[in-house]
Amino acid sequence: MSSVEERGEVGVAAAPGSSSGGLGVVAVGTALEAVVGGPSMQEEVSIRRGEGLGPESDPDEPPPKKRMRLPEGESGKLEERLYSVLCCTVCLDLPKASVYQCTNGHLMCAGCFIHLLADSRLKEEQATCPNCRCEISKSLCCRNLAVEKAVSELPTDCPFCLKQFPRSSLERHQREECQDRVTQCKYKRIGCPWKGPFHELPAHEEECCHPTKTGTELMGILGEMDQSHSRELTLYNSIFSLLCYEKIGFTGRLEVQFRPYRTDDFITRLYYETPRFTVLNQTWVLKARVNDSERNPNLSCKRTLSFQLILKSKVNSAIECSFLLLKGPYDDVRIKPVIHHHAFSNDTNETDYVPLPITDSVECNKLLAAKNINLRLFIFQIQK
């Protein structure tokens, strides 16, 4: 015991010195270790700090996991790095719907993919991938469902409240949940022009003056509404009246197929023509052209299609007909029904070119990108 006390006194005596204080603590730890047989104080501190004792510490515990640290220049968000990986190779934006890929895996959004196919049709060239120049077509390219799912889970900012949401739920948030979405007053049908954020709607509707307007003040607004409804009603009444005719013909089970051709001019122009088909015991042909035979329609962002109906049979007397074109049974193009009238004879066997009633240039690109344009023709013969 005397030797232990002497060692302890030596350790304590060395404590007051600044440079020897650490040595004193170490000496105390060494002395206690020699008596008790336990670890020194430094080893206890290292254990508390999480420093392992090596393979001899505990053979049953797994080794501590190491955290991978990114360099300071590469510490951006994962979403920002994925944008450049999953973006469309044409518009350099994240796809909003379907994603197509070429045979080498380069990604294209549905709009750019259809636009490339339409441009190749107008220029009479083979469509190629903008990155690797391999051939692309609807048969060679396929959808990438994994990328579509990954893009739908990436966060994006709501344009109204500027909060981030997954792309898959952003549409529902903008339509139902966002308190800053632009909305209209419920009295807009009687002329209230107010538009504003949704959270201000209750306060506006309490102060809106349109519910207190007199009937005379509302007559003008209701008259404009009646005009728009009457135009739609006239169209549907005309279609129902045509269905009452005795002689009605349409293209049967198979829709009319417009096939692409080129003119014999020095600068060739694209046009479409159908094979001859029989309706109402007469032979007919349909022709169509792009942008009214514009010289370079591929340089224009706005694209339209117009068509004409041609009677190929010889007739003894004039045939007065009404006709309209609708989309085929398996197409997704949107066409508004428009009724046209013409009196066909041997001298006037062609109608003027009339615009195909598609909604916008996107629908036109869908038709141009297809191998054939499939539509359904209805002809109603007017009895004299």
What does the pLDDT average to over 111-128? 89
pLDDT digits (tens, 9 = 90+) for 249-301: 887 544 567 777 776 666 567 888 888 889 989 999 999 888 887 777 777 77
Q: Is the pLDDT of residue 333 over 50?
A: yes
DSSP string, 105-140: --EEEHHHHHHHHHHHHHHT---B-TTT--B--TTT
* Cα 166 to Cα 153: distance, rounded to the nearest angstrom: 5
User: What is the CB neighbour count within 10 angstroms for residue 12?
Assistant: 12
pLDDT-derived band at 173, boundaries 50, 70, 90: very high
Instruction: Find the range with the poorest average confidence among 44-48, 106-110, 280-284, 292-296.
Output: 44-48
Lookup result for tokens 């009895």: 383
pLDDT of residue 374: 83
Q: What distance separates the 2 farthest-apart alpha carbons in the chain? A: 141
pLDDT of residue 382: 86
* Cα 326 to Cα 35: distance, rounded to the nearest angstrom: 100
pLDDT of residue 8: 43
Find out whether 369 and 117 touch, Cβ atoms under 8 Å: yes
pLDDT of residue 103: 93
pLDDT-derived band at 77, boundaries 50, 70, 90: confident
Q: What share of the chain is helix, strand, coil (3-state, %, to 5)?
A: 35, 20, 40
CA 288, 290, 295, 296 dihedral sign is negative
Global confidence as pTM: 0.62
Burial 261-272 (b: 16+ CB within 10 A, else e): eeeeeeeebbbb
Average per-residue pLDDT for the chain:
78
pLDDT digits (tens, 9 = 90+) for 120-168: 888 888 999 999 999 999 999 999 999 999 998 888 889 999 998 888 8
Greatest mean pLDDT among 55-69, 119-133, 294-308 lies in 119-133
User: What is the CB neighbour count within 10 angstroms for residue 99?
Assistant: 24
pLDDT of residue 294: 76
Greatest mean pLDDT among 43-52, 187-196, 265-274 lies in 187-196
Strand partners for 273: 259, 287
Which ranges of 329-373 does DSSP label H, i.e. alpha helix?
361-369
pLDDT of residue 326: 87
Region 248-381: CATH code: 2.60.210
Domain boundaries, the chain: 76-169, 179-207, 214-244, 248-381
DSSP label at 181?
S
* Cα 249 to Cα 281: distance, rounded to the nearest angstrom: 9
**Which one-letter amino acid corresponds to residue 384?**
K
Instruction: Find the range with the poorest average confidence among 51-60, 177-186, 204-213.
Output: 51-60
Which ranges of the chain does DSSP label H, i.e. alpha helix?
2-13, 18-36, 41-48, 78-86, 110-123, 145-153, 167-172, 201-207, 215-242, 361-369
> Residue 117 is encoded by which pair of tokens?
């196919």
Burial 153-190 (b: 16+ CB within 10 A, else e): ebeeebeebeeebebeebeebbeeebebbebebebeeb
pLDDT of residue 23: 39
* Cα 121 to Cα 279: distance, rounded to the nearest angstrom: 30
Q: Is the pLDDT of residue 11 over 90?
A: no
pLDDT-derived band at 358, boundaries 50, 70, 90: confident
User: What is the percent of the chain where pLDDT is above 70?
Assistant: 77
Strand partners for 262: 270
Name the phi and psi angles at 326, rounded to 5.
Answer: -130, 165
Quote the CATH superfamily of domain 76-169: Zinc/RING finger domain, C3HC4 (zinc finger) (3.30.40.10)
